[in-house]
Amino acid sequence: MTTTPENGPGRLPGMKTPPIVSAEEWKAAWEQLHLKEKAHSRARDALAAERRRMPWLAVEKEYAFIGPKGRMSLLDLFDGRRQLIVYRAFMEPGVGRWPERGCIGCSMVADQVAHPAHLGARDTSLAFVSRGSQDDLGRLKARMGWEHIPWYTLTDDFDADFGVDEWHGTNAFIRDGDRVFRTGFVNGRGDEQMGNTWNYLDITALGRQETWEDSPEGYPKTEPYEWWVWHDDGVTDPDRDKV
């Protein structure tokens, strides 16, 4: 196509765009939309509160994974923390251009993942699992900048048992000592929202663990901001409010 002033860089040919209005009209339109956005936020908070009241499913079966240091159990993936979020990634033989590349959708999900130190500050671990070998996963995560994400290799029916053998999905677990429970699951539309620390916490049994949340009695809570950390040292700032 020949480039002309009408279809050059930055132009919007063929688009039926909204009207151009004054600053006052724009603000009035924004205020109407803002009311709906806030209602959406409150509905999302209510949905997260309902998630925190979901029944728990005891995980009775033993599962095995391979990590950088060898064989691991599902309990090991918690890394000593109270909660665990597991994303089933398709980085494995038969998918995409493996081992050069894995699933393009799962790769995009991995690109969105915030530093897990922030989940750790809420006693929650993150794990990505696939059937790729540790050597192949190691090379891929180094090339793609995914070193901050813990990657483990599936060895058994974990993916089939938790609804992620043929499609991606994110499962949430909690432990009581050595007992593990499944508490949440997101797949299909909605799973693409994962990666953000807040969205991850919202699908867990304990939520963000902040005082404003509607949670069952006895759930851990602190004031917002108090638990926030710098990911490079995991230490909160006692002077954070002295700006």
Q: What total number of domains does the chain contain?
A: 2
Sign of the alpha-carbon torsion through 54, 58, 63, 69: positive
Q: Same domain, yes or no, for 100 and 192?
A: yes
User: What residues form DSSP beta bridges with 222?
Assistant: 210
Q: What pTM was computed for the model?
A: 0.90
Per the omega criterion (within 30 degrees of 0), is the bond before 18 cis? no
Indicate whether 234 belongs to any domain.
no
Q: Same domain, yes or no, for 63 and 44?
A: no
Q: Same domain, yes or no, for 35 and 69?
A: no
72 neighbors 65 (Cβ within 8 angstroms): yes
Residues of the domain holding 46: 22-51
Q: Same domain, yes or no, for 122 and 140?
A: yes
Report d(CA 90, CA 208) in Å as an integer.
28
Q: What is the pLDDT of residues 179-194, one digit of tens each?
A: 999 999 999 888 888 9
Q: Same domain, yes or no, for 42 and 90?
A: no
- How much is the pLDDT for 242? 44
Q: Same domain, yes or no, for 40 and 75?
A: no
Indicate whether 224 belongs to any domain.
no
Q: Same domain, yes or no, for 67 and 44?
A: no
Q: Same domain, yes or no, for 142 and 26?
A: no
Q: Taking the C-alpha atoms of 99, 105, 106 and 108 in order, what is their torsion angle to the nearest 10 degrees?
A: 100
129 neighbors 88 (Cβ within 8 angstroms): yes
Nearest to 51 by CA among 189, 196, 203: 203
Indicate whether 125 belongs to any domain.
yes
Indicate whether 114 belongs to any domain.
yes
Q: Same domain, yes or no, for 83 and 129?
A: yes
Q: Same domain, yes or no, for 83 and 192?
A: yes
Sign of the alpha-carbon torsion through 179, 85, 222, 42: negative
Q: What is the pLDDT of residues 142-186, one digit of tens each?
A: 999 999 999 999 999 999 999 999 899 999 999 999 999 999 999
Report d(CA 71, CA 29) in Å as an integer.
57
Indicate whether 161 belongs to any domain.
yes
Sign of the alpha-carbon torsion through 168, 152, 128, 62: positive
Q: What share of the chain is helix, strand, coil (3-state, %, to 5)?
A: 30, 20, 50
Report d(CA 243, CA 241) in Å as an integer.
6
Q: What is the CATH number of the domain that holds 126?
A: 3.40.30.10
Q: Same domain, yes or no, for 39 and 75?
A: no
- How much is the pLDDT for 14? 80
Q: Same domain, yes or no, for 166 and 197?
A: yes
Q: Please identify every stretch of the chain with a pLDDT value under 70, giving residue numbers as ranges.
A: 1-8, 12, 234-243
Indicate whether 229 belongs to any domain.
no
